[in-house]
Amino acid sequence: MKVLILAGGFGTRLSEETDLIPKPLVRIGREPILVHIMKIYSHFGFNEFVVLLGYKGQMIKDYFNNKNDLQGMDVTFLDTGKNTDTGGRIKRAKKLINNEPFMLTYGDGLGNVNLSHLLEFHKNHPGLITMTSVQLASRFGILEIGKNDQVTKFKEKPKENEAWINGGFFVCESTVLDFIENDETVFEKKPLETLSNNGELFTFRHYEFWKCMDTLRDKRELDKLANLKNPPWKIFK
């Protein structure tokens, strides 16, 4: 099964890094975040990658042309246009997908998602797409306030009762592409909204580690974790 990785965005919220290099090449520890993501998939036996390029895509190609330790991985680079949106990038891979189910994720998110369980979950429901969902702990403590401004309960950075959000790590049937109109289509808007309204979108809830590298703060937090003996996403050797 092919794995599509969205790797073409501008990464404007991480401009301290992305003014010079594309976001998927930003290093977490000693390797770019894209390599960490690919190694997660490879650990579960998914080794056919289609990297959907855009902004500074040639730099990503050049990096992999000089990298020799990704043995067993079959990596295809697809130029999808600098200004193409997420849906358009996915749609452009239609010929490479060849009417087969595929996996899909973002080139800036790490997690110890059990991809074998994810695929099994997808196969056992009738929908066209499975999205991994995660809960984020609040950055701040939560107050419950009663009469006379008395604090009746305090929770430090709670996770419970927080909304479930899109964590990437999708499994898609090929017909998902039919819900994408053109290069300007934002995958997370009309396509996913329509799939949800049609009862075709299911979610695989992930309760363990997940983190997206949106900002410099996120990058620094991931760097600290990368220096641990066992980083929480590093289920691979």
The pLDDT, as a whole number, for residue 152 is 72
Strand partners, 7: 53
Which residue in 7, 35, 36 sits closest to 21, CA to CA? 7
**Domain carrying residue 182:** 2-136+163-226
**Residue positions counted in the chain:** 237
Q: In this structure, is residue 191 part of a structural domain?
A: yes
Q: In this structure, is residue 147 part of a structural domain?
A: no
Report whether 110 contacts 33 (CB < 8 A). Answer: yes
Q: In this structure, is residue 144 part of a structural domain?
A: no
The pLDDT, as a whole number, for residue 160 is 55
What CATH number does residue 29 fall under?
A: 3.90.550.10
Q: What is the DSSP letter of 148?
A: G
Q: In this structure, is residue 90 part of a structural domain?
A: yes
Q: In this structure, is residue 124 part of a structural domain?
A: yes
The model's pTM: 0.91
How many independent structural domains does the chain possess?
1
Which residue in 92, 86, 102, 107 sits closest to 14, CA to CA? 107
The pLDDT, as a whole number, for residue 71 is 77
Q: In this structure, is residue 146 part of a structural domain?
A: no
**Rounded to an integer, what distance in angstroms lies between the CA atom of residue 85 and that of residue 184?**
5
Walk along the chain (237 residues) in steps of 10 and give the mean pLDDT of each run.
Answer: 97 95 96 96 96 97 84 93 97 96 98 98 97 82 70 66 88 98 97 96 96 96 95 86
Q: In this structure, is residue 42 part of a structural domain?
A: yes
The pLDDT, as a whole number, for residue 157 is 60
Structure tokens given for 122: 């997808």
Q: In this structure, is residue 44 part of a structural domain?
A: yes
The pLDDT, as a whole number, for residue 8 is 96
